[in-house]
Amino acid sequence: MISRLLIINIILACIMVFEPPCQADEAPSYMHKLLPEERIFEVCGGREGPVIKKGDPGTEDNKYGFEGGRAFKYKGEYHMMTAERFGDPIVIKMRLAHWKSPDGISWERLSTLYESSGNFTGEDPRASLWAPMPIYDESQEHWNLFYIAYRAKPNDPTGWYLGYEGKVWRAVSTVAGYDGLDGPYEDVGIILQPGPDSDEWEGLQGTDSFFPYKVGDEWYGFYGSAQTQKEINPKYPKWAVGLAKAPKLEGPWKRCSDLNPIRLHQNFTENPVVTMMKNGRYIAMVDGGPKAFGYSVSDAGILWSKATYIDLEEHLDKWWSYMRTPLGLIVEDDGTFTVFFTAITKSKFACLGMVKLKEINNNVETVASKQSIFDIF
């Protein structure tokens, strides 16, 4: 018996052949529909308290803590590349750092990958660096590092300028092969930035995150933007994400304007990090705002469900005052999942937390049971 998931993927493949989803022509109506929300995880454990906090080894000169990035398994250990808010001006003087842990609880800081200038005049396009995302390119046998570089200056009545005109940089490890994760990394160019190709939902912040993932023989990538200018376009969320597409990881990357924005939430979505499950489905962990983070589900990596949110206050003793960003979904050998996340404490230091998830229902046909794919197309 042919599974419903296989039927969905065949339909999507046919649609991509006859109506490529990244053309800038008039968008077909189905492109603006999300799949229904799908709750597939529940909390099954976690760490009561941060796994990295102020004063722990490696944080000695880190004044304000951590934000975003990616956590993942590499050669049997946990690794994390994250942005450290280590100096002043706060959220401008930044470092991109590499950490590792044998168990997810005891962490060691390995290196600084990049450090921003901290220039607060608006003159330097690399004044503030954020959102490091390491991706291994099997075809080129190199680790790639994507990250965001902003200009920065004091806010004024026209907008929020602590990070604006964000551009997505691509760097490549100078050490070839899978063993080259530690780098060092060398910049090779900007792959996405604000400009004449920007969509009307994108705002002053520019491109504020980027995470690429493989779909068949092509690459798709979530990127974000925020309308941090005073005069916003009310048709779109203030913080939103969209998709871009490329034949190779190095590009050229083209916005999927007829798909975008991907409205995972009506007001706020940031920093998607995508994982492919063992059953072939895609999960995007997303920042959902000050109370909770969430996830979206896709059968083929192109159409996504509305985000489902996990309120950790119901499961863990609340040690944070402001929830921030999940660093991805890690598939464990025992069938559970680990999510590391950043969250800000009352002291304004952003710590690293950890929670464990398990699947509620491993049935890959749950989307179709809620809404037929034929109702969408």
**Which among 227, 238, 144, 241 has a CA at the least distance from the CA of 191?**
144
Query: What distance lies between CA 306 and its chain's CA centroid?
Result: 16
pLDDT given for residue 21 in this prediction: 52
Strand order in the sheet with 185-192: 128-137, 142-151, 164-173, 185-192
**Secondary structure class of 178 (helix, strand, coil):** helix
pLDDT of residue 33: 62
| 43-376 CATH choice from 2.115.10.20, 3.40.50.2300, 3.50.50.60, 1.20.1090.10 | 2.115.10.20
User: What secondary structure letter does DSSP report for 370?
Assistant: H
pLDDT confidence of residue 149: 98
Give the strands of the sheet with 95-101, arranged side by side.
66-74, 77-84, 95-101, 108-115
Burial of 84 (0-12, 13-18, 19+ CB in 10 A): buried
Strand-pair partners of 308: 295
- The residues, ordered by sequence, that sit 6+ positions from 17 with a Cβ below 8 Å of its Cβ are none
According to the model, what pLDDT value does residue 290 have? 74
Which residues have a Cβ under 8 Å from the Cβ of 234 and sit 6 or more positions away? none
pLDDT of res. 10: 47
Written as one string, the DSSP assignment of 318-333 is ---SEEEEE---EE-T
**Sole residue written with tokens 């490529």:** 20
| pLDDT at residue 289, rounded to an integer | 76
For 293, half-sphere exposure in the C-beta direction (CA atoms, 13 angstrom radius) is 27
Round to whole Å and give the CA distance between 265 and 135.
26
Residues 6+ apart with CB under 8 A from 265: 237, 286, 288, 294, 306, 307
Residue pLDDT tens, the chain, 377 long: 344 444 454 444 444 434 445 643 444 444 456 788 999 999 999 999 999 999 999 999 999 999 999 999 999 999 999 999 999 999 999 999 999 999 999 999 999 999 999 999 999 999 999 999 999 999 999 999 999 999 999 999 999 999 999 999 999 999 999 999 999 999 999 999 999 999 999 999 999 999 999 999 999 999 999 999 999 999 999 999 999 999 999 999 999 999 999 999 888 899 999 999 999 999 999 998 777 899 999 999 999 999 999 989 888 899 999 999 999 999 999 999 999 999 999 999 999 999 999 999 755 443 333 333 223 32
Q: How far apart are CA 162 and CA 152, in angstroms?
A: 5
- In angstroms, the Cα distances linking 278 to 201, 214, 283, 332, 335 are 34, 14, 11, 11, 10
Domain range annotation of the chain: 43-376
- In the chain, what's the furthest Cα-to-Cα distance? 63
* CA gap 79, 250 in Å, rounded: 23
Per the structure block, which two tokens stand in for 124? 């330097």
| Helix/strand/coil (H/E/C) assignment for every residue in 213-270 | EEECCEEEEEEEEECCECCCCCCCCCEEEEEEEECCCCCCCEECCCCCCECCCCCCCE
